[in-house]
C-alpha cells in the first residue's frame, strides 16, 4: 500500500531508494525487518529492470562453474575487469537465480524441466536464463512487485524522488524527498537509521541512451544537506 507524507514523519529503520530489481530484491531479502521502499515511479515503471530483454548469465547448467563464468568475463573485459569482483559476482549468480525462482520468476525450462540456458556473447558455455524468450526483465519485476505486495514488513512509497541525503555528525541520518514531477511541492524529511541507494543507472546524463527517464543520477550522494 502506498503511504501518505503524513505517515512518514517518524524514524524508519531502513529506507531503500529505488523500485527496480536491486531495490525490490533488497527489501525482500531484509524481510521481516521493516523497510520503507521509495520509488520515483509506480513499481514496474521507470526502471531499467523492467526493460531488460536479454536474460541473466549464471552458471546454473550441469558442468558449468562460476570460475569458468568469471574466466570468460575477465577475458572479454580488455583488462578492465576486477577479477575478485568478477569471481564474487559469478559465484553469487546461481544462488540468486534460485532466489528469483523462489519469488515466483518463471524462468524458461527445457523438456526435462531444467532451467533452459542459452549461449550468448562472449560466454564459452550455455549460461543465459530467460523468461518467455525476451521477457525476463518485465517478468522479474512483476514477480518481485507481487512478492513485495504480500510482504507486510515492506512499506511502499511510490511517486517520490529522493533529492538529498541528510547527514548528522558525519553519518547519514535520512533523506530529503519531494513529490515526483512537482518541483513546487514542499520537500519533506524522512529520518532513517540506514539508507540504501538502489537508484539504477545514469544514462540520462548523456544525450543518447536506452535507459528510462528516471535513470538520471538525481539521487547521487551529493548534494548533502545537514539535518536542521
Residues at the contact surface with ligand FAD, assessed by CB under 6 A: 17-23, 38-41, 46-49, 51-56, 137, 161-162, 198-201, 210-211, 214-215, 218-219
**In terms of CB distance, is 61 or 200 closer to ligand FAD?**
200
**In terms of CB distance, is 48 or 192 closer to ligand FAD?**
48
In the complex, least distance from residue 15 CB atom to ligand FAD, rounded to whole angstroms: 10
In the complex, least distance from residue 210 CB atom to ligand FAD, rounded to whole angstroms: 4
Reference 158, options 25, 40, 4, 34; nearest CA is 40
In the complex, least distance from residue 209 CB atom to ligand FAD, rounded to whole angstroms: 8
Q: Which residue's Cβ has the minimum distance to ligand FAD? A: 20
In the complex, least distance from residue 141 CB atom to ligand FAD, rounded to whole angstroms: 8
**In terms of CB distance, is 136 or 173 closer to ligand FAD?**
136
CA–CA separation, 113 and 122 (whole Å): 26
In the complex, least distance from residue 26 CB atom to ligand FAD, rounded to whole angstroms: 9
**In terms of CB distance, is 71 or 209 closer to ligand FAD?**
209
**In terms of CB distance, is 113 or 176 closer to ligand FAD?**
176
In the complex, least distance from residue 5 CB atom to ligand FAD, rounded to whole angstroms: 15
**In terms of CB distance, is 41 or 156 closer to ligand FAD?**
41
Amino acid at each position: 500500500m502506498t503511504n501518505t507524507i503524513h505517515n512518514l514523519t517518524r524514524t524508519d529503520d531502513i529506507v531503500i531508494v529505488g523500485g527496480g530489481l536491486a531495490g525490490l530484491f533488497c527489501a525482500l531479502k531484509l524481510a521481516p525487518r521493516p523497510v520503507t521502499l521509495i520509488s520515483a515511479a509506480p513499481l514496474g515503471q521507470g526502471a531499467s529492470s523492467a526493460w531488460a530483454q536479454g536474460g541473466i548469465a549464471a552458471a546454473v547448467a550441469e558442468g558449468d562453474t562460476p570460475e569458468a563464468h568469471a574466466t570468460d568475463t575477465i577475458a572479454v573485459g580488455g583488462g578492465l575487469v576486477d577479477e575478485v569482483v568478477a569471481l564474487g559476482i559469478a559465484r553469487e549468480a546461481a544462488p540468486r537465480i534460485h532466489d528469483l525462482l523462489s519469488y515466483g520468476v518463471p524462468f524458461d525450462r527445457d523438456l526435462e524441466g531444467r532451467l533452459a540456458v542459452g549461449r550468448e556473447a562472449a560466454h564459452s558455455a550455455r549460461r543465459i536464463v530467460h523468461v518467455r524468450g525476451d521477457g525476463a526483465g518485465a517478468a522479474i519485476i512483476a514477480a518481485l512487485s507481487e512478492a513485495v505486495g504480500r510482504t507486510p514488513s515492506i512499506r511502499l512509497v511510490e511517486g517520490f524522488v529522493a533529492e538529498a541525503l541528510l547527514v548528522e555528525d558525519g553519518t547519514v541520518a535520512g533523506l530529503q524527498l519531494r513529490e515526483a514531477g512537482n518541483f513546487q511541492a514542499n520537500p519533506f524529511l524522512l529520518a532513517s537509521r540506514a539508507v540504501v541507494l538502489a537508484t539504477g543507472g545514469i544514462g540520462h546524463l548523456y544525450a543518447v541512451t536506452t535507459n528510462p527517464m528516471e535513470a538520471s543520477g538525481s539521487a547521487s550522494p551529493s548534494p548533502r544537506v545537514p539535518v536542521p
